[in-house]
Structure 1
Amino acid sequence: MAVQADAQSPEATETFGPNLPEPFNFENVAALAEERAASVYTQPVSKLVGSFADLDYDKYRGIRFRKDRDPLGGSKQFSVDLLSPGTIFYEPVQINLVRDGISEHIPFDPSMLEFDPSQFPDGADLETVGDMGWSGFRMRTFLNRPGVMDEFLVFQGASYFRAVARGTLYGLSARGLAIKTGSPDGEEFPLFTDFWIVEPQPGDEGVRIYAILDSKSVAAAYQFDVTPGAVTMVRTRMALFPRVDLRETGLAPLTSMFWFSPASRRAVDDYRPACHDSDGLQMHTGAGQNLWRGLMSPRNLQISSFVDSNPKGFGLVQRAREFETFQDAEALYHLRPSAWIEPEGDWGDGEVRLIEIPVENEFNDNIVSYWLPKDVIPGGQRTEFRYRLSFSALPPSDLPLAKVRQVRSGRSINVETTRSYIIDFDLGMFRDQLPQFQVSASEGRIVHAYLKALPEQHVLRLAFEFEPGRAELAELRAALTDNEGLALSETWMSRWAA
């Protein structure tokens, strides 16, 4: 919920006992962020020297955090690795540990690192190294196997962070804020500059992390309550202190990669049938609609807006969960997680915005989604938002609607300028009787549409052809319905561009 908050909250008045100082909490971080916002922004940059200068990818990977220097060494449930600066990570990050309510700074110390002798045969040059700051941190817990601590969360680089759930591998990323993404004026990349990791207590199933984000336009305080598991939940609270009115600022942003799939395979010569971290944007609107917008790698940058009021949820999803979909034994794209955003409270009017950027390989993220409020977030005052961000194989679903299983598209065998589309829905409740369907295009014409059950494949196939005519751009939609037009499936959407 977006609210104008007082400087103190009930949380800030808690104490551990008589005559003891107040424990470090969210309001401490908010006060620091508000102080930052009152000053002119200066981007922090470290001068990398000694063995941290001019590192290539392999050398950087040869620097590892020493397990015996774990700040959470007393925890039986969690461990943390502090990450070295180097390569593209040159902004200093200050990391603190909150123990018994007291914040303790952890200065950068190269003696806490190990240097792979195969990458540093002459040893590491640490004599000229000062406090360059860390570049981030990663956390581990018992996630997949008894007795083995697996990595489940990492904060590193600008305001990016990633998490995994049980049985998944790192894929898409979340971000603190998205400012002017896709703007012709250029994007503004805010930074997480400070973190406070709260030492978990015995029996804790999750960990609390505070952070400060800073940029030219805004300073902000964050609280992340992270609970790893079959669904890794990141419950998020943020207090924004804008230096200016925020107009093109996306909340709860997600960033992913989509190169090609059977639905969008433009000029790709690759042995794999598909290559992506996410294959669609799923939305549960405030009006109760369930939407699925398939992703694409366009010829030109594309921006799509889905107007809504008080959205129930949205996220970037990897529905393709079978190895056969990708045939990639190294990247294992079928194990990449989905990320789902559930706003807490009233987010008001706005839009889910999707940005798709042209890409020619799988090494750069090119998909961004976020919530863009309709109203300006005013400068000079505090505004709060809260939401739940879950990482899991698939997002939760509470409605008995048929979902899009797979989409294929290609040039029609009959007319070169016509496009064929094949949409497979879950067969589910339609085994005995076929439903009705609706297919539409904002421009051009839909022809030869039909519906067919494929029981052995457990899908209901909707096929049609799209004749664009003179159109340069068209929005396509399709859904299964009953005889009265009531939706029996989520609504599939796609954009066609010349």
Structure 2
Amino acid sequence: MLKRREVLQLAGSAAALAAANTLPSAFAQEQPAEAMPFSGPAVVDMARALAAKPFAAPNLDLPGALTSLTYEGYVAIRAKPEGLIWSDDSSGFVIEPLHRGFIFTNPMQINLVEGGLSRRLNYDASKFVFGGVNLPAPPTKLDFSGFRVLRRDDRGELQELAIFQGASFFRSAARGQNLGVTSRGLSIRTGDARGEEFPFFRTVWIEKSSRAANALTINALLDSESVSGAYRFTIHPGDATIIDVECSLFPRAALDNFGLATMSATSLFSPLDRRGDDDVRDAAAECTGLQMLTGAGEWVWRPVSNRNNLQISEFVDSNPKGFGFLQRNREFDDFYDLIQHWERRPSLWVEPIGDWGPGSVELVEIPSDNENAQNMIAFWRSKTPLAKGQQADFAYRQFWCWSPPSRPPAAAVTGSRGGRGGAAKQRRFLVEFRGDALGDFARMADVKANLSIFPGKIASLRTYPAPERKSCYVQFDIDVASENACEMRLTLESQGAPLSETWLYRWTL
């Protein structure tokens, strides 16, 4: 992954579609043969046929100068202006093919679809600027590592809208944001002792849009040792970027641990943990927590934290209404980082479409001392395994945004802090809730903090209403004795009714 500064029904069978995708176009080294019809359902047929065959690993061979690249050397390789696809602005979207090299060794075959006809985008080294990379001879027949989706801003300058690169990873952002949180098509055995498997996109078909349509559709063929799949991404730019995701999965083997709508983000330190005590910044994190809206309608906020040991949390649910990594700190003063600008990172909110059944939102917190490594991972894990040969269809909508379209109707958590308690072996926490309901002076006279912990005991609990700020602060100490972990649950209530979302957190040594 890149640094934060800066991822018609086919006539005939799926085999006919595979033949169609050998056709060249703008990067052509040969004259194009006859274009072939294309349709999204044909990719589903192709995935089904591929899953019926043994997995074939992709050819990762590259010239040595490309595999030994530093990050700086790799990003110096860019497509020339004449290598950009649809740059005449007729579609409203511009595609930039991305070169292979550095850690991006997997080849991705790119096909362009215009007027219902598919043509393969053939690699041509002359369409790239290689910066200071020393290549004795121009490489040939490499395919690509992925692609960027660009869009012109109000000044006519190209801005990055989305990037698909590396395994099944992709990223996007809202207008005015920097890239941050990353999504992926599918995760398999994440956090599992058996080891993680990384499906990848073998082939994509990018359908040319029109300015009037204001949407770009990308079809993708996913593959791995355990599963093949057909994906369809529809990107809608705007103040928030919306990506509709549809997928059909075909397991080669039974899948008992697979993740849907998987996302990852960085959390190096925050006021909740103290790994950044000797850092000039106040925090370094591109998400402050995991928001969940359960199938029963409960709003839950779980702050994330850079742990000393690997932590996996499971939030059991059925037919979730939404979940995602959110950045709730939107002021420069929350971070004081002149380079990373964490306050500009997107929140990623996912809303499932259709019946996802029973399962759980999984949160994996990985210890890290590298702010360029995304050490927070979240995904939906279905309770029902996928059987070998069984087709499974899923759909969901992603909002890459400043703030999700759905939000708690009552007070939300705007700050979580942790530190030493008032006595030995005690830990102190300070949680701020904020919302219009907390501005009611009369109601706030009856506000109550409902806190439960396990194991351990509550040593002190105080509530500090601040209706002039539409806030309420809850400060409490916990005594965990000799325990090395404690689960906490906190809500605000008034006259017996909930007044806030639910704050959950796990303290660990």
Q: Which residue of 2 aligns with 1:424?
A: 432
State the identity %: 37
Q: Which residue of 1 aligns with 2:30?
A: none
Q: Pick from 396, 413, 417: which aligns with 1:404?
A: 413
| 2:498 partner SS | coil
State yes or no: 1:490 paired with 2:490.
Answer: no
What is the deviation of 1:448? Answer: 1.9
Check whether the contact 2:410–2:435 (CA below 8 A) recurs between aligned residues: no
User: For each residue in 1:219-268, what CA deviation from the matched residue of structure 2 results, as whole angstroms up to 9, or x when unmatched?
Assistant: 00000000112110010000001001110101110011111100112464
What is the deviation of 1:13? Answer: 9.1
State yes or no: 1:189 paired with 2:198.
Answer: yes
What is the deviation of 1:427? Answer: 4.5
State yes or no: 1:233 paired with 2:242.
Answer: yes
What is the deviation of 1:483? Answer: 1.7
Q: Which residue of 2 aligns with 1:7?
A: none
Residues 47-62 of structure 1 aligned to structure 2 (within 5 Å) = 47-49=61-63, 52-62=66-76
**Cα distance in 2 for residues equivalent to 1:111 and 1:340:** 40
**Cα distance in 1 for residues equivalent to 2:273 and 2:106:** 37
Structure 1 stretches lacking a partner, 5+ long: 1-10, 15-20
Q: Pick from 189, 207, 211: which aligns with 2:216?
A: 207
Deviates more, 1:281-290 or 1:68-77: 68-77
| 1:300 partner SS | coil
Q: Which residue of 2 aligns with 1:87?
A: 102
What is the deviation of 1:74? Answer: 4.1
User: For each residue in 1:5-26, what CA deviation from the matched residue of structure 2 results, as whole angstroms up to 9, or x when unmatched?
Assistant: xxxxxx8499xxxxxx995222
| 1:324 partner SS | helix
State yes or no: 1:135 paired with 2:145.
Answer: yes
**Cα distance in 2 for residues equivalent to 1:351 and 1:50:** 44
**Cα distance in 2 for residues equivalent to 1:477 and 1:283:** 14
User: For each residue in 1:86-114, what CA deviation from the matched residue of structure 2 results, as whole angstroms up to 9, or x when unmatched?
Assistant: 11111111000011111100111111111
User: For each residue in 1:146-180, what CA deviation from the matched residue of structure 2 results, as whole angstroms up to 9, or x when unmatched?
Assistant: 32221010001111100011121100100111100
| 1:401 partner SS | coil
The one-letter code of the counterpart of 2:222 is L
Q: Which residue of 2 aligns with 1:113?
A: 128
User: For each residue in 1:345-364, what CA deviation from the matched residue of structure 2 results, as whole angstroms up to 9, or x when unmatched?
Assistant: 11110000101011112121
TM-score by length of 2: 0.90
The one-letter code of the counterpart of 1:339 is L
**Cα distance in 2 for residues equivalent to 1:492 and 1:104:** 51
Residues 269-418 of structure 1 aligned to structure 2 (within 5 Å) = 269-412=278-421, 414-418=422-426
1:37–1:268 distance in 2 versus 1, CA, 3 Å:
farther
**Cα distance in 2 for residues equivalent to 1:427 and 1:394:** 15
| 2:45 partner SS | helix
User: For each residue in 1:38-96, what CA deviation from the matched residue of structure 2 results, as whole angstroms up to 9, or x when unmatched?
Assistant: 11112213311175342222221211101222222344311111000111111111000
Check whether the contact 1:140–1:150 (CA below 8 A) recurs between aligned residues: yes
User: For each residue in 1:294-351, what CA deviation from the matched residue of structure 2 results, as whole angstroms up to 9, or x when unmatched?
Assistant: 0011111111000001100000111111100100010000000000110001111000
1:139–1:13 distance in 2 versus 1, CA, 3 Å:
closer
The one-letter code of the counterpart of 2:348 is A
**Cα distance in 2 for residues equivalent to 1:494 and 1:185:** 27
Check whether the contact 1:12–1:22 (CA below 8 A) recurs between aligned residues: no
Q: Pick from 468, 475, 481: which aligns with 1:469?
A: 481
Q: Which residue of 2 aligns with 1:449?
A: 461
How many residues were matched structurally?
Answer: 474
Structure 2 stretches lacking a partner, 5+ long: 1-7, 12-34
Check whether the contact 2:438–2:471 (CA below 8 A) recurs between aligned residues: no
Question: Which stretches of structure 1, 4 residues or longer, exceed 4 Å deviation after superposition?
Answer: 11-14, 455-458
**Cα distance in 1 for residues equivalent to 2:176 and 2:164:** 20
TM-score by length of 1: 0.92
Q: Pick from 9, 16, 24: which aligns with 2:38?
A: 24
Check whether the contact 2:10–2:38 (CA below 8 A) recurs between aligned residues: no
User: For each residue in 1:127-164, what CA deviation from the matched residue of structure 2 results, as whole angstroms up to 9, or x when unmatched?
Assistant: 4x221110000011134x43222101000111110001
The one-letter code of the counterpart of 1:54 is S
